[in-house]
């Protein structure tokens, strides 16, 4: 039996407790400082505040001040924080994890460095580990998976990425179930770039849903031509970006799968629909108050990196018309006006 400690009791981190525990492993779920109510509720009811289904019996729950007890003896750690908890995880969690315990992160995102280079969170955290003189292996999960459908045991296919295939195979053995299926790859930058990029591009596709609702006045009338057209352009731009990042083709396809599921459910879809209806970014954020919107951060960071690279002559912004328009909406409060003719250009 392995011991899996999940740090971060958000929806995705908590959802991963299901396959781990249902495989007979010891599972310890640790809340961040923002998760106190979730952990209190789980201790009383054995259920997450946002899930309709109870946790499997036997999961152990810890508040943040009990984190070191939960880490002690763990086979591996699952980092379950959102992108807004990246620095907290770096500063408060990494120093407490013994060297022999590998880490598997669910956190999606990219960071733009001053020279326009986009690095993923495992790279960002590696700098902290190097500073501390620590040797923990950093791995990550990416791919088409929504937390509530994983809890429901919907058939799910994801990728685990990391530098050491034997460590990934160990994690795969612990986590694989009849409904949770895992691709193993050492293409960390490819997977992490693909699953981060899909957030910004899913927002772009969701704009068309809002536009059609505004045009027809009918929330239930769905039009697919426009969604598919922007999906096509999003896929083209993602492919170019993943190649720029040095990722491989398989990682790109993982990103396309993740793009599909993100368009059809979740927070990114909601903000895209509001923007497409005609609300500006501030109005949309007010309507969705309290909702974590990683898609906005990803889109603006990638656009910033491309602008830096364009100034150096390394890329052409004309190759990324959809992303540039999404960034204009987010950064400059531009109204939605998808550049359809730009999508017709073969690049």
Rounded (5°) CA angle 121-122-128 = 95
Q: Which of 90, 108, 198, 270 is catalytic?
A: 198
Q: 74, 66, 86: which is closest to 20 by C-alpha?
A: 74
φ and ψ at residue 105, rounded to 5 degrees: -100, 140
- The DSSP call for residue 70 is H
C-alpha atoms less than 13 angstroms from C-alpha of 241 in its C-beta half-sphere: 37
pLDDT level of residue 290 (50, 70, 90 thresholds):
low
| Model confidence pLDDT, tens digit, residues 296-313 | 899 999 999 999 999 999
pTM score over 0.85: yes
Domains for the chain: give ranges and CATH numbers: 3-186 (3.40.50.720), 189-344 (1.10.1040.10)
Residues comprising the chain, all counted? 347
- The DSSP call for residue 336 is P
What pairs with residue 158 in β-bridges? 182
- The distance between the two most distant Cα atoms of the chain, rounded to a whole number of Å, is 59
pLDDT level of residue 39 (50, 70, 90 thresholds):
very high
Active site residue 309: no
φ and ψ at residue 126, rounded to 5 degrees: -60, -35
CB 183, CB 191: distance < 8 Å: no
| Sole residue written with tokens 């596709």 | 205
3-class SS of residue 112: strand
| Model confidence pLDDT, tens digit, residues 234-265 | 999 999 999 999 999 999 999 999 999 999 87
């Amino acid at each position: 039996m392995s011991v899996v400690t999940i740090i971060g009791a958000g929806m995705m981190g908590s959802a991963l407790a299901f396959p781990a525990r249902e495989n007979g492993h010891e599972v310890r779920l640790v809340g961040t400082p923002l998760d106190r109510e979730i952990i209190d509720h789980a201790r009383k009811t054995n259920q997450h505040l946002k899930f309709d289904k109870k946790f499997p019996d036997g999961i152990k729950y810890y508040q943040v001040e009990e984190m070191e007890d939960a880490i002690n003896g763990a086979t591996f750690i699952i980092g379950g924080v959102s992108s807004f908890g990246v620095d907290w995880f770096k500063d408060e969690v990494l120093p407490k994890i013994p060297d022999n315990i590998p880490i598997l992160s669910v956190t999606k995102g990219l960071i733009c460095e001053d020279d326009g280079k986009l690095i993923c969170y495992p790279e960002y955290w590696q700098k902290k580990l190097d500073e501390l003189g620590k040797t923990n292996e950093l791995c990550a999960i990416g791919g088409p998976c929504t937390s509530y459908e994983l809890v429901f045991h919907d058939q799910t296919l994801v990728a685990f990425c990391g530098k050491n295939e034997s460590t990934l195979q160990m994690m795969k053995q612990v986590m694989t179930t009849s409904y949770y299926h895992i691709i193993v790859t050492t293409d960390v930058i490819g997977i992490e770039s693909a699953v981060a990029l899909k957030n910004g591009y899913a927002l772009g596709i969701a704009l068309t849903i809002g536009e059609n609702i505004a045009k027809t006045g009918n929330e239930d009338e769905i039009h697919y031509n426009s969604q598919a057209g922007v999906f096509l352009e999003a896929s083209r731009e993602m492919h170019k970006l993943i190649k720029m990042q040095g990722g491989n083709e398989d990682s790109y396809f993982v990103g396309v799968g993740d793009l599909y599921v993100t368009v059809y459910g979740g927070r990114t879809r909601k903000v895209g629909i509001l923007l497409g209806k005609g609300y500006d970014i501030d109005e949309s954020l007010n309507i969705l108050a309290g909702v974590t919107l990683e898609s906005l951060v990803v889109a603006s960071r990638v656009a910033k990196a491309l602008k830096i690279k364009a100034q150096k002559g390394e890329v052409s912004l004309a190759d990324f018309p959809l992303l540039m328009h999404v960034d204009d909406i987010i950064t400059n409060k531009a109204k939605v006006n998808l550049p359809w003719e730009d999508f017709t250009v073969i690049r």
